[in-house]
Amino acid sequence: MVARTALVTGASSGIGEATARLLAGDGWRVVLVARRAERLEALARELPGALAVAADLTAEDAPARLRDAVEDAGAELHLLVNNAGAGGRATFAEGGWEQVRRLMEINFDAQVRVTEALLPLLRNSAPSAIVNVASVAGRTARPRVGAYCASKYALCGWTEALHLEEAPHGVHVGLVLPGFIVTEGFTQAPLAARARTRWLLSTPDRVAAAILDAGPGARAERYVPRPYGVVPVLRLLAPALWRRAARALGH
């Protein structure tokens, strides 16, 4: 039996690496994508049949390079995991348009461009799936992360539309919304330092399991941890209460 092929962005560490390892353990052939070539290649050596493609997803030629890598490997693409992203903390007065522009480029524009390039391959190999890794911050907002929230709100809205558009073509589109996950890029140090907030933290392995649930498992949406699903409900039903909580978490 020919192994199914998945392409995972942001695969050199954190959620992307955990997802690649989980997929490989389940018999998938994984195309690993990230900027750090040495780390990618080291991971590829550990995973049977894995292919490393070092790329900056904001580069003009990046989407075409990923499509060419899959086609040159003679593989059908069955799963795309749009996981790469970046964070940043600043008020709008401090970071201004430039921070919004930068995070939109990385967290939203790059995902859209990669999906556009690979969608024909996914349609050709249907049934197939796309999983977009957003954030609970794509359904709520807190102080000092407005630019990050904006990029994830955009990703959530676009994903929901894409889910409806691609279903007739056999491409399932799932959305994963992590809460506070401890990774190399997101240490969550303020929350980890306090016993009363440490319980809010989760791990890349749990997000990886949710990605498989939202991709091959055909779930439309998964929060990680699952109880975080009450957060947007609280935001809608008790906005004043949510704003007090968000203000406390943001400082």
Structure-block tokens of residue 209: 């399991």
The DSSP result for 66-98, as a single string, is HHHHHHHTT----EEEE---------HHHHHHH
Q: Which of 148, 153, 223, 228 is catalytic?
A: 148
Classify 41 as helix, strand or coil.
Answer: helix
Question: What whole-number distance in Å separates Cα of residue 131 and Cα of residue 166?
Answer: 13
Phi, psi torsion values for 194, nearest 5 degrees: -115, 130
Instruction: Indicate if 223 belongs to the active site.
Output: no
Q: Which residues contact 209 (CB under 8 A, 6 or more apart)?
A: 22
The closest of 126, 125, 145, 127 to 135, measured between CA atoms, is 145
Catalytic residues: 148
